Structure 1
Amino acid sequence: MRPIGLSERLGRWSSGRGPLYVLLAARMRRLIDDGELPSGALLPPDRALAAALAVGRTTVVAAYELLRSEGRITRRQGSGTRVAGAASSGTIEDAPVDPIFLDSLESRDDDVLLAICAAPGDPPPLLAEAYARILPSLQEISGDIGYYPYGHPTLRQAIATRYADHGVQTTPDQILVTNGGQQALSLLAHALLSPGDQVLVEAPTYPGALEAFREEAAVLRGLPIGLEGFEAAVRDRRPGLAYVIPTYQNPTGSVLSSLVRQRLARAAAAADVPLIEDEVPADLGFPGTTRPVPMAVFSDAVISIGSLSKSVWGGLRIGWIRASAPLINRLARLRAVHDLGGNVPAQLAAAHLVAELDDLDLATELQTRHDHLRTLLTRHLPTWDVPQIRGGQCLWVRLPHGDGNSFAQTALRHGLAILPGSGLDVTGNSDPYVRLHFRARPEELTEAVVRLTTAWQAYHPPADRVSPRPAIAI
């Protein structure tokens, strides 16, 4: 198969700031994501592309390696470099299972159970009640076109009050309402990063954050859970920002102690490194747990993001950013370029929900579904390592052999979409893992384990992946 004519499609890829390999990878990433470089396409060899672009071969090798680590391309001796996905023979080869887009209507197969997007599938009665309560307010609106780039004042006040109730003194001018937590991450990445900037992330972590940072052509550096080694990494790498999920971490479910939170927050402030604290899973504790203190208590360098998508319903696209007022002003200007404001009825309803989040009884149902899934897994797949957690929405499962990516393809052929660990870990140390969420109904979790068991019995890992890769300390 003749390699695709890539150099002509790249255009002015080298315009911008940052290392050349990062800029080249960013342009190729865009071509792949936009479908201009189709799945299975054969890319030029390193030397050929380097000659066509008049750059050193190491630039192309580094760009290819960055894309390979993201799962966007595959590189195998004898078969060349290809865009990940359907090869020319029509078979699936190393195609990454996309955690964001597999739930889209265009790709949805009614025969496939989706165990990827960890969000409640059933909106609680409280949501409909909140909408019913705002009807009088909607009827009274007059002379208001509904454009609020910062978010509706009623909701900003409700969010600020909730932070104050949890020990973080906050005023409404420190709050920006967004269309979910993902938009919050994208706005922050766009505002704070330039191409080539380094971002410190946990390995593994939430894949949507990795994509937001990559979209800005950032270079991701993985640290162990809790950003262990953060002080040394800040000193040696001078990152543009850092990102952490301190409470019921996605995907491991870990919770950082108050001492570690304080240390991270103060180290970030001392180094003048923005530290994003993702609080989206923070309300997902099981019975008997208490909500840990937010990291923003310890330092103004901490930027907090939150969302109602995990605690209320994924379809309620309400999120927020808590930061300094000057940064909120900057973010609001950026948002207004793309979005003059969110849905006003949804924000008015959300104001009621935010005020009543602590009364929303999530804990018992979360633990019941966690216990149901974990019990079935330990019974039917006893060789799998399934740690117990105290809150969150996912199980971080280690396979006894093989790798998560190839097993995810086997599972998909048996009617179950799961998320392989490789897409959540920039260090490459999570290949033996898969992420399974337990937010589905019990009968759906039971069927998922049936399909997992059948898939595991049929699974034959690639010859070079029989033994899991040993962990490497970074």
Structure 2
Amino acid sequence: MSMDPAALADRLGRWSAGRALAAALTVARGTVVAAYEELRLEGRILRRQGSGTRVAGPPRPGPRESTGAPVFLHLLEPREDDVVLLACAAPDAPPPALLAAYRRALARLEDITGDIGYHPLGHARLRRAVAEHYTRRGVPTEPDQVLVTNGGQQALSLLARAFVGPGGTALVEAPTYPGALEAFREQAAYVRTLPVGLDGFEGAVRDRGRRPDLAYVTATHHNPTGAVLPALVRRRLAAAAGAAGVPLVDDEVPADLAFPGQETPPPLAAYGETVVSVGSLSKSVWGGLRVGWIRAARPVIDRLGRLRAVHDLGGNVAAQLAAAELLPHVAELCGKVAAERRARHDHLRTELARRLPHWEAPPVPGGQTLWVRLPHGDGDSFAQAALRHGVAVLPGSGLDASGGSREFVRVHFLADQATLTTAAERLARAWTAYGAGDTEPGPPPSRALAV
């Protein structure tokens, strides 16, 4: 249905601005009004009664067949072939401690009465366990500062929806965890990058032209580089974020994965009240548990809780009770396998150095991945060649919102040493073929997120 230009101008708000623009462009006012309406329909401008019209940033995309995430769906699903999967870094089986925790949790379920099972903020027992987890680590925390989520990815999605809207800005490291990039892009946000460690952060949060709505960092065992921020850098980042009023999100999912003898600084939240901590048991226990959390100031948790309740009335109670059983012992559980993880890390680096001496694979103090620089070519095309030779690696371009890191691939070292040896052999053969011109197109990207 057509609309009278004057009525449309009333809907647009400040008609005088349209009159001025029309005069400047020497066009009819109706043309300007029509242009404004077209921009609104495309999602490029936002209008609110009494506050005029403002730029919304890039248009919101419609439904997509793919998130563009840099991993193939068949790398996450069960396979019948013998491809060695070094692309997705996560434990490949639930540990015995998880099974024991579930048995204790199921026993607790038998005693529950007067509880309909909906806990949008999380079960009280797990919220208390998360609060005690942070308090033990030097960050005094109360249960009402904790929101339980269905894994760390849901936590990032909630934070993106709460703080970063269309036309807003998320400040991230380059490279970084690709699931975070997808969460911010899903909100049609502009993603601004700084190097790993957020060097230049103070200037970025004071930038009046593009002040970030949220900043995201992995301070401990960074994914993918394995870096650990020193205490002084943590203090500086937290102080700058606090002074600018910018929420600083610290992804602590890999924080418990230190190698033996490696000390890590206190959590970033120990240095500032505006720090928002995201955690989960996906890397330290098992991804199938699907239990994560957000630790933040009470007003932030209240806001996120209201947002969560609109989309999800709460997580699986049995899983939360099992997580509450595990969390007091997570450091001990990780410590039991830390020596083996370091041995596998050392073994993979030795095999790569022997078979691919021109590759750069720096050691890391913990975590699960190596960030490998190729001497030439690019990670996207090499990943396709590697897959054809029976090993899956993650190309670096999908982890870098700046458009860089194309010469990198990410590989994990969680497999047993025999499997890692096989992987190195296949990578060497793939590299030889790649150097000889093996650059055939690989399979298309899927909906799956890299982990």
Question: In the alignment, does 2:98 pair up with 1:98?
Answer: no
Distance 2:268 2:436 in 1: 42
2:84 corresponds to: 113
Q: Contact 1:406–1:462 at 8 Å: present in 2 too? A: no
Displacement of 1:103:
3.7
2:231 corresponds to: 258
Distance 1:356 1:262 in 2: 28
**Which of 33, 36, 49 is the matching residue for 2:66?**
33
1:364 corresponds to: 339
**Which of 248, 251, 258 is the matching residue for 1:285?**
258
1:214 corresponds to: 185
**Which of 364, 379, 388 is the matching residue for 2:354?**
379
Distance 1:462 1:103 in 2: 24
**Which of 105, 113, 116 is the matching residue for 1:142?**
113
Structure 1 pair 155–375 and aligned structure 2 pair: CA distance change class (3 A): same
1:437 corresponds to: 412
The AA in structure 1 aligned to 2:179 is G
The AA in structure 1 aligned to 2:271 is F
Secondary structure (helix, strand or coil) at the match of 1:254 reads coil
Q: Contact 1:308–1:318 at 8 Å: present in 2 too? A: yes
Displacement of 1:256:
0.6
The AA in structure 2 aligned to 1:439 is L
Structure 1 pair 463–350 and aligned structure 2 pair: CA distance change class (3 A): closer
Secondary structure (helix, strand or coil) at the match of 1:335 reads helix
Q: Contact 1:13–1:27 at 8 Å: present in 2 too? A: no
Structure 1 pair 21–239 and aligned structure 2 pair: CA distance change class (3 A): closer
Q: Contact 2:238–2:248 at 8 Å: present in 1 too? A: yes
Distance 1:112 1:19 in 2: 47
Question: In the alignment, does 2:323 pair up with 1:350?
Answer: yes
Displacement of 1:376:
0.8
Q: Contact 2:148–2:291 at 8 Å: present in 1 too? A: yes
Question: In the alignment, does 2:373 pair up with 1:402?
Answer: no
Secondary structure (helix, strand or coil) at the match of 1:27 reads coil
Structure 1 pair 188–234 and aligned structure 2 pair: CA distance change class (3 A): same
Alignment deviations for residues 362-411 of structure 1 (CA, whole Å, 9 cap, x no partner): 31121011111111111111110110111111000000110001101111
Distance 2:57 2:408 in 1: 29
Distance 2:407 2:355 in 1: 19
Displacement of 1:443:
2.5
Question: In the alignment, does 2:48 pair up with 1:14?
Answer: no
Secondary structure (helix, strand or coil) at the match of 2:324 reads helix
Distance 2:92 2:416 in 1: 8
- Please report the TM-score for the alignment, with normalisation by the length of structure 1: 0.78
**Which of 132, 144, 148 is the matching residue for 1:177?**
148
Q: Contact 1:277–1:305 at 8 Å: present in 2 too? A: yes
- Please report the TM-score for the alignment, with normalisation by the length of structure 2: 0.82
The AA in structure 1 aligned to 2:267 is P
Structure 1 pair 291–362 and aligned structure 2 pair: CA distance change class (3 A): farther
2:12 corresponds to: none
Return structure 1 stretches of 4+ with deviation > 6 angstroms: 461-464
Q: Contact 1:406–1:461 at 8 Å: present in 2 too? A: no
Displacement of 1:143:
2.7
Q: Contact 2:347–2:417 at 8 Å: present in 1 too? A: yes
The AA in structure 2 aligned to 1:406 is S
Secondary structure (helix, strand or coil) at the match of 1:249 reads coil
Structure 1 pair 103–12 and aligned structure 2 pair: CA distance change class (3 A): farther
Distance 1:114 1:166 in 2: 34
The AA in structure 2 aligned to 1:113 is V
% identity of equivalent residues: 59
The AA in structure 1 aligned to 2:108 is S
1:165 corresponds to: 136
Secondary structure (helix, strand or coil) at the match of 1:300 reads coil
Unaligned ranges ≥5, structure 1: 1-9, 35-71, 73-95, 465-474
Structure 1 pair 239–127 and aligned structure 2 pair: CA distance change class (3 A): same
Displacement of 1:182:
0.5
Distance 2:289 2:64 in 1: 31
2:277 corresponds to: 304
2:243 corresponds to: 270
* Greater relative contact order, per chain length (Cα 8 Å cut-off, separation 6+): 2
Quick check: which has more Rg, 1 or 2? Answer: 2
Q: Contact 2:374–2:408 at 8 Å: present in 1 too? A: yes
Q: Contact 2:225–2:371 at 8 Å: present in 1 too? A: yes
Question: In the alignment, does 2:222 pair up with 1:249?
Answer: yes
Displacement of 1:22:
1.3
Displacement of 1:136:
2.1
Distance 2:116 2:330 in 1: 29
Displacement of 1:444:
2.2
Structure 1 pair 158–396 and aligned structure 2 pair: CA distance change class (3 A): same
Distance 2:327 2:437 in 1: 48
Alignment deviations for residues 261-292 of structure 1 (CA, whole Å, 9 cap, x no partner): 00000100000111001111110000101232
The AA in structure 2 aligned to 1:142 is T
Alignment deviations for residues 9-34 of structure 1 (CA, whole Å, 9 cap, x no partner): x99432664756611xx416x43438
**Which of 411, 423, 426 is the matching residue for 2:386?**
411
Displacement of 1:316:
1.1
Q: Between Structure 1 and Structure 2, how many residues are aligned?
A: 390
2:427 corresponds to: 452
Secondary structure (helix, strand or coil) at the match of 1:434 reads strand
Q: Contact 2:119–2:313 at 8 Å: present in 1 too? A: yes
